[in-house]
Structure 1
Amino acid sequence: MPETRNAPTAGLPAFEELKFRGDPLADAVIADLVRSGKTGVVNEVLAHFRDNDQPVPADLPESVRRYLVVTDVPPEWADLDRVAGAYEFFVDDGVHVASVLSFGAMVNCYAQPRPSRVLSLTHRLNQPHRRLSETSQFVLNMMGPAPFGAGGAFVPTIQKTRLIHAAVRYFITRSGEWDPAADGVPLCQQDMLGALLIFSVQVLDGMRRIGITVTEREAEDYYYVWRVTGAMLGIPADAMPETLAEARELNANVVEATYGPSPEGIELTRNLLRLYETMIPGKAFDGVAAAMVRQVVTPEVADWLEVPRSRSWSRVVGAGTRLMRLLERSEDRSRTATAVLDKAGSLLLGGSVRTLTNGQPTALTIPAGLREKWLATGVCPAQRAPSRAEPETR
C-alpha cells in the first residue's frame, strides 16, 4: 500500500509541537500496571519474551496483551523487501555502524540537554555500560536479515523499549522534578525523532568521517530501516522525513539546533569515556577513545561535552582515518586490507560483549545469519552465541 503523508516533513513549529507529545498507547499500559501493582510480574514475564514469532505470553494483564498484539506488525506502508535489502550493508559494515554509533551517536545524544536530564533523573548517569549494552543489542537485533519477520528478535525489543520509555515518562512526570509546561513531556516524540536522526543520519556522517565508504543506496536503505523502526516505536509517521535528503535537512536545521552544553551531558560523556578506557587494554592507549570521539562528532559538540584533547592521539586517529580510506579502496581485492579495516571496527562492539553489569557478563546476541557471515570474514566480536538457557542480564 502506498504511504500517505498529511503533514510537512520538516519545520520548526511541527518539531516544537512534538515536545508535548508522549506515546498514548504505551503510556496507558504503564498507568494500568501501576494502578494494579503488577509491574513486577510483567517484568518477569517479558524477560523471556524475545522472539518475533513467539506467541504472546498468556499470563499477562489484558492491557499488556492488547498492547503486544497491536504493536506486533510494522506499519502498512513498510516495504519489507526494501528492509531486507539493507542486510547486505549490515553484513559489510554493521560492525562499523555499531562502533560509530557508540563513539559518536551516543555522545551526540548527550549534547541534547533535556534528554540528558532525563537520564540523570532515572539515576543512570553512572551506568554507561548498561546504556551501551542496551543500545548495542537494539541495533544488533535491527541488523538481522528480516528484523520484523519470523526468526528475528527485533519486534519484542522495540515493544519493551517503548514500555520502558513510557515508564520513564510516568515516574519523572510525577517526581516533582519536572515542569511539563516548560520542559514538555519527558522522552517526548521530539526526543525520539531526534534520537532516530542521530542514530541514522549522523551515524552515516560519522562513518564517512572515519573513512568508511557508504553508497547513497546503502545510506537510503539504512535510513529506511530506521524510519520503519521509528514508526514501531510510536513516532508519528507524518513527523518522520520520508527521504534521506529530507532527514539530513531536518537534522541539520532543527535537531542539531537543540545541541548545547549541560552538566548532565558532560558527566554522561565523562563516564562513557571512562568505560571505553576500561575496554581498551593497557594504560598506553588512554586517550585514544576521546580522540575517536573527536574524530566522529563535531568540534563544537566535543568542546561542549569537555571531551579531552590529545594532539598525539588526534594525529594517530587522523592518520588511521586516512589509512582506513586507502584500505577501503582495496577491501574487495585484499583479504589483508579487509582484516585490518574490520578489526578496528570490531574492537568496541567486542568490548560491549565483555562489559560487566553488576558483576555479570552482558551477553549481546548477534543475529545468527549475521554472526555466521561476520565469523566467515573474521570480524565477529563474539565467538559464540549465548544459549537460550543463559539468563538475560539487564
Structure 2
Amino acid sequence: MTPTRFYYPSPGFSIYWKSGNGKKLAEKLTGNFPAKAAIEQFIPRLFETDELADRVIREVYQVHGFKQADQWITQLLDGEKGKDVPESLHQIIIQITHKPSWLNPEWLEKGAALCRRSGSIGLMVLRNYCLMGGYESSAINKPLVFTGALKKGAAKRLTETTEFWVRIVGENAITSTQNGLKECLKIRLMHAYARVSILDEGKWRESDWGAPLNQWDMLATNLGFSIIFLDGIRKLGMKPTQEEIRGLFHFWKYVGYLLGTPESYFPESESEAIRAIYAWTITQAPADEDTLALALALTLEPLDGPFPDKNWQKKLVYKTHLGYNWYFLGKASCETMQLPKTIWRIFPPIQRFFVNLGQPFVHLSTKSYQRSVKRNRKAQTKVVNAYLESHGRKTITGR
C-alpha cells in the first residue's frame, strides 16, 4: 500500500534541489540521484515502527506505571537485577547496552567533537535549518499535531531537542549508561509512548500518513542531525575535515541504532546521506495548515517565551532567527511557510566570512584543535544553560 503522503516529485522540495540550497549540496553527490522506482522501494518503511519499544510501553508503562518503569530502568542501567521486570524491558536494555561490532570509539568521538566544535553556530543550524526545515513536510509533523505539540508550545520541543543533542555530544557521553545511553532510551520510549497513544486514540489515518513516527521518518530526522547539520555549519564558514565528517555519520548511525532504527538504514558517507535525504524529501506532500501553524509557533517562540527577558532582546532574537531561516532554507521554502522577510538575512553571510577566516588556525596542531573544541563547547553550554534555566530545567554540566 502506498500512502497518500507519498507525493512524487515533491513540489516544495523539488525547488530546494533544483535551484535552492540543495543544489549546492547535490554538487557533493557521487553519481546520480536515485530514480523514482528505486525510491519506491522505501515505501514499506513508512509502515515500520520500533516494535520492541512499543511492547515496553504496553507491557511496562501502561501496566505498571511511570514510577515503577523508571525505577526498573535505573536499576537495570546500574547493572542491578530488577525484581519481576517484564521481558520486553530486559530486551531493550540489553539492546542499547550492547556494543555493535561495527562501533568505532575513535570515529564516535571525532563526530561528537565536531558537534562540540560548532559551538553556538551548531545551535543556530539545528534550530533554523534542521528543525524549521523539517516543518515544511506536512506528513512527518502529523504526530506532533496529534500529541498536542501546538498547544504545548514550540518552546517545549525546541528545549527537549536541543537539550538532548547537547547532552549526547559531550565528551564520551554517548556510551555512558548514565548519560548518552540513558538519554537515547528516554527519547526512544517517548517516541513509542506517543505512537502507542496516537494509535490507541483511533483517529490516525494510516492509509494517508503511514505509521506514526515510522522508520523512514525516524531516518529523516537522524539525517537532519548529520547531513543537514553538516551542510549548515559549512554554510556558516566551518570547514570540517574528512575525519570529522566520517565521525559525524558514524556518531549519528550509532544514535539512530540506540533510538531503535535498523542500523542497515543509515548512510556511512556524505554521498550516501545526500541520496538518502533526497529520497525522503522528494516524496513529501505539499505544506498544509499544520505546517504553517508549527512554523509560526517556532518563529514566535523568542517573543512568547521567558528567554531572553527584555523585550528589545526578544525582538532582536526573533529577527536574527528569521535571518538564518531565510539564509538556510531559501526564498521558496520561507514563502511557503509564510516566514516574514527581514534585513537580518545579511547577518549569516557576514558571520560566514569571519568564521571562515579562523578555520585554518583550528587545524594548526592537535592542541589548537582541542582548544577550539573546548572553547566552543563552553560557549555552547553557556547558551543552552541560560535557556534551560529560564524554562526551569536542569542545566548541563561536563565537557
TM band (smaller chain): 0.7 to 0.9
Does the CA-based 8 Å contact 1:290-1:309 persist in structure 2?
A: yes
* Distance in 1 (alpha carbons) for counterparts of 2:197 and 2:127: 27
For this pair of structures, how many residues does the alignment match? 349
> Alpha carbons of 1:363 and 1:325: their partners in 2 closer, same or farther (altered >3 Å)?
same
Q: For residue 96 of structure 2, what is the aligned residue in structure 1?
A: 71
Q: For residue 341 of structure 2, what is the aligned residue in structure 1?
A: 309
After TM superposition, the score normalised by the length of structure 2 is: 0.77
> Alpha carbons of 1:327 and 1:150: their partners in 2 closer, same or farther (altered >3 Å)?
closer
1:108-147 equivalences under 5 Å are 108-125=133-150, 126-147=152-173
Larger fraction in helix? 2
**Which of residues 317, 324, 331 in structure 2 aligns to 1:299?**
331
Q: CA deviation at 1:349?
A: 2.9
Given residue 79 of structure 2, which amino acid in structure 1 is its aligned partner? P
After TM superposition, the score normalised by the length of structure 1 is: 0.78
Residue 318 in structure 1 maps to residue 343 in structure 2: no
1:32-111 equivalences under 5 Å are 32-33=59-60, 36=63, 38-42=64-68, 44-45=70-71, 49=74, 54-55=78-79, 58=82, 61-62=85-86, 63-111=88-136
* Distance in 2 (alpha carbons) for counterparts of 1:209 and 1:258: 24
**C-alpha deviations, 1:321-378, integer Å up to 9, x for none?**
33333344566799xxx89x9599678535532341xxxx112424x2x2xxxxxxxx
Q: CA deviation at 1:263?
A: 1.7
Q: For residue 269 of structure 1, what is the aligned residue in structure 2?
A: 295
* Distance in 2 (alpha carbons) for counterparts of 1:346 and 1:86: 18
Does the CA-based 8 Å contact 2:121-2:236 persist in structure 1?
A: no
* Distance in 2 (alpha carbons) for counterparts of 1:287 and 1:95: 17
Q: CA deviation at 1:318?
A: 3.2
Q: For residue 31 of structure 1, what is the aligned residue in structure 2?
A: 58
Q: For residue 228 of structure 2, what is the aligned residue in structure 1?
A: 202
* Distance in 1 (alpha carbons) for counterparts of 2:330 and 2:81: 45
Given residue 333 of structure 2, which amino acid in structure 1 is its aligned partner? V
Does the CA-based 8 Å contact 1:210-1:295 persist in structure 2?
A: no
Does the CA-based 8 Å contact 1:96-1:346 persist in structure 2?
A: no
Q: For residue 320 of structure 2, what is the aligned residue in structure 1?
A: 288
* Distance in 2 (alpha carbons) for counterparts of 1:202 and 1:208: 10
Where 2:100 maps in the other structure, the secondary structure is coil
* Distance in 2 (alpha carbons) for counterparts of 1:57 and 1:123: 37
Q: For residue 353 of structure 1, what is the aligned residue in structure 2?
A: 388
Q: CA deviation at 1:213?
A: 2.2
Per mean C-alpha deviation after superposition, the further-off stretch among 212-221 and 248-257 is: 248-257
**C-alpha deviations, 1:59-97, integer Å up to 9, x for none?**
674232442233322423212232123344244224432
Q: CA deviation at 1:20?
A: 0.5
* Distance in 2 (alpha carbons) for counterparts of 1:170 and 1:144: 31
Q: For residue 226 of structure 1, what is the aligned residue in structure 2?
A: 252
Structure 1 unaligned segments of length 5 or more: list them. Answer: 1-8, 371-394
> Alpha carbons of 1:259 and 1:245: their partners in 2 closer, same or farther (altered >3 Å)?
farther
> Alpha carbons of 1:99 and 1:23: their partners in 2 closer, same or farther (altered >3 Å)?
same
Does the CA-based 8 Å contact 2:61-2:69 persist in structure 1?
A: no
* Distance in 1 (alpha carbons) for counterparts of 2:68 and 2:387: 27
Q: CA deviation at 1:268?
A: 1.6
> Alpha carbons of 1:314 and 1:97: their partners in 2 closer, same or farther (altered >3 Å)?
closer
* Distance in 1 (alpha carbons) for counterparts of 2:118 and 2:262: 29
Q: For residue 254 of structure 1, what is the aligned residue in structure 2?
A: 280
Given residue 134 of structure 1, which amino acid in structure 2 is its aligned partner? E
Does the CA-based 8 Å contact 1:99-1:349 persist in structure 2?
A: no
* Distance in 2 (alpha carbons) for counterparts of 1:305 and 1:362: 30
Given residue 92 of structure 1, which amino acid in structure 2 is its aligned partner? R
Where 1:86 maps in the other structure, the secondary structure is helix
* Distance in 1 (alpha carbons) for counterparts of 2:161 and 2:293: 19
Structure 2 unaligned segments of length 5 or more: list them. Answer: 1-32
> Alpha carbons of 1:328 and 1:355: their partners in 2 closer, same or farther (altered >3 Å)?
farther
